[in-house]
Structures are given as structure tokens and as C-alpha cells.
Amino acid sequence: MTLAGKTVVVLGAGRSGRAAAALALREGASVHAHDTADTISGMPVGTVLHPSASEEKGRATHCDLLILSPGIDTYGPLVAAYAAGAGDTIGETEFASRYYHGRIVGITGTNGKTTTTELVDRILRAAGHHSAPCGNYGVPLSEIVLLDPVPDAVALELSSFQLESLSSLRPDVAIWLNFAPDHMDRYPTVDAYFAAKLHIFDHQSEADTAVVRAGENLPSIRPRQVTFSTEDPSADWFSDGRHILHQGKAVLDLETSTRMRGLHNAENAMAAIAACAALGVPIEIAGKALDGYAPPLHRCELIRSLDGVEYLNDSKATNLHALESALRSQTRPVVLIAGGKDKGLDYQPVAPLLARKALAAVTFGQIAKPLAAIFATAVPTEAVTTLAEAVEAARRLAPRGATVLLSPGTSSFDQFSGYEQRGDTFRDLVLQLH
């Protein structure tokens, strides 16, 4: 892709936009950064800045290439206005992939992407690769391409927002972890969200590999499929939540070798090991690479035990499927803390599982009252306003031997800047209990 002498517009001046601008400048383009904010800072030297982006400004802008940051709605009116005067429109991840020539393990799914991305990177490094985790995992792919030397392999976490605008990116291995409704505040239908996720397979060939959770309702895809499951022992990879088996042979004991617990973490581990095996990493090396691994913060993170009650921080559970996974993986009676922003999701399906796994529930935030009305059909439920009030209520409701589980089931933007701040606040509140 030759950009020398071309005009490039980067829409969105966050970290992904800054990295895309730097890469475009390196390739000889004239780069313009547009953002809806009143001021733009941090862009690389040589970038022409255009704050206060609007549809009107977009319609008046012309360029050879329009690069979208992943947080911007690909199908919204702002992008449509800018795209009208662009020769081509692509996302930052797609743009960077055109300058990356190493091996790619692409990871998508409604839940578990970040943990699996970390595991893939850990295994690749153990096998001697100069690897890097990137994409939706903190570091944009454009930053990776600008490194010297450039890593020979990447664990590329791909959100639906990044997948929307792919036109050529071809993972050597694509991981499909799971699918459940999410982001209904961005997508008009569940089918539209599903279609966005499916783009991960678009450019794979029969020579590539897809690592897929058994039982996922996928259409016909070209790559060779490798399956994993915690329910179907006939899958290529199977786990009972503790032991991982490959074609019936034991590979790893999660409880003795790692700090990963629960069926969902077993699925993440199987997917990562299977993906790296498809790249030629011996299974023995992959298993040893996970020794001592602890899941990232805010993912069923044990905060403390107090008066015989465990407190788990699963703030990363920003949708119903993640909430269900966290509930299903618990072995002790649960007092659930859930709530946050109303994303338009249907929480009724969680009620039967809640009845089986929980003693009580506490809801908080914007969605507290409607969520409480649903949960109350399954267990005693209290609705409060703040997370601090929720922690106090949960402590009162939890008997010795129970688990207080923060697994919100929705995003945090009604009261917090993100799930990290929500989880950090929960940790602080729990550590202050006495």
C-alpha cells in the first residue's frame, strides 16, 4: 500500500488514531487528524489538526484514505459524511495489517478475549517468538508495526468494532471464543453484531486455522476447524474445568499449574494452546508456558476473604453472557452484585441460573430498579443507587461460606469511566470492610 504523496484523514485522535497517524506519516502521506473534541493533543509532529469534527466538516473534507479509530461508529452519520469524500475507508487495525508481515493469531468473542490474548502471547514467547499482544488489548497494531524490530508474531484481540472495517486482514489462526448479545446500543440487531464478529474469517483460506468453541452456530467457513469444549468430550480439546485434554490425553491441570479457575478460564486456556499448536508450538511448551499464570484484574479476581465470605471482582463482565459465565463457574452460594448502564439487553434469561447459583442479589446504578424486578423473580433482591451501598447490602446478605460476586452484566458508564475504575472502586470498598 503506497501512501507517498497521498492525503490521509484519521478520524479519532485517541491512541489508535495517534498510532495510525504516525504510521501514515512514516509512509510519506500528508496526514490530517479530525476529532469531535474541542482540542486535539498528542498527535505526532507533522499532523494537521482539525478539532470540532462534524458532519458538515466531513462533507467538505476530501482525502485518498480515511482511517477510522475503533471507538467511532462505522455506520454512523459522522463517518458517512467523511467517507463521501474519501477514496477508501478502513479501520486502524486493517490499515496497520497492510504493513505487518508476521504471523497473526486473531482473537474474538463476546467474552474472554483479553485473557486469551495474554495466554497466546505468553505461549508464543515461551516458544521463542518475538511476540506482542495488541489490538483491542491496549496497544494498537499500528504501534506494533512501528517497533524496531517488528515482532514476528502478534496476539491480536479483535472487537466487533475493529472487525467491522476489515477488508484484507488474514489471521493465520482465528479464535472464536463464544457469542452472546452485546453492544445493542450500537448494533440495530443481534444478527448485525454477529455479522460483524464473523468478519474475522472473511479472508482466511483452507491453509489457515479456526479455533472454535464447539456448538457455536457458525456458517460455513473456509479454514480448517479445531474445536474446544467444556461440555462435549468429543471436541478436539476438552476440559472439566480443571484438567485440559487433547484428543483424550491430559495436557494441563489448571488448579496445580495456574491460578485460573472456572469453566470460562478453561475455555480460554484451551483456545490459546490450540491456536499456538496450529502455528507449530509443541503442546508441552504451551502447557509449561502457563505455569503460575493469573487472570487479568477484574476477571473473577479474588479480593479477600472476610468472616468466611469470599469477595470476587468480575467488573469486566459488561454483558449478560459474561455474567452468566461467572455465575456458572462458582462453587459456593452467591450474593450477586449487578448493574450499571442500561444497554438495552434482555436480562430475563439469567433468572433460572440465578435461582440455581445465588442466595440473593443486589442491583445498583441506572439499571438498578428494572434489573431488580427481573432478579426478584428468582432470588431475594435489593435495589440501591451506588456501588458502595451495594457492597454494604451484599455483606449483610452473605452468610459464612458464601461468595459476594461483583459481575455487573452491563457497562459502567453511568457512574464510572470504565470497568477498570468500577472494579478498582469495588476492591477499595471491600478492603475497607472490617
Q: Show which residues are catalytic.
A: 113, 136, 183
Bridge-based pairing state of the strands 249-253 and 224-229: unpaired
Q: Which amino acid is at 199?
A: H
Beta strand spans in 19-125 (E): 30-34, 48-50, 63-68, 86-91, 103-108
Neighbours of 46 (CB within 10 A): 12
Torsional sign, CA 45, 48, 34, 3? negative
d(CA 74, CA 68): 8
C-alpha cell read off for 359:
442466595
Place of cell 459464612: 400
Residues contacting 37, CB < 8 A, separation 6+: 13, 51, 52
Q: Which amino acid is at 101?
A: H
d(CA 93, CA 240): 36
Residues contacting 75, CB < 8 A, separation 6+: 164
Place of cell 452467591: 334
Rounded to the nearest 10°, the torsion over CA 7, 12, 14, 16 is: -60
SS3 for 231? Answer: coil
**Whether the Cβ atoms of residue 169 and residue 97 lie closer than 8 Å to each other:** yes
Around 230, how many Cα atoms within 13 Å sit in the side-chain half-sphere? 20
* DSSP 8-state class, residue 38: S
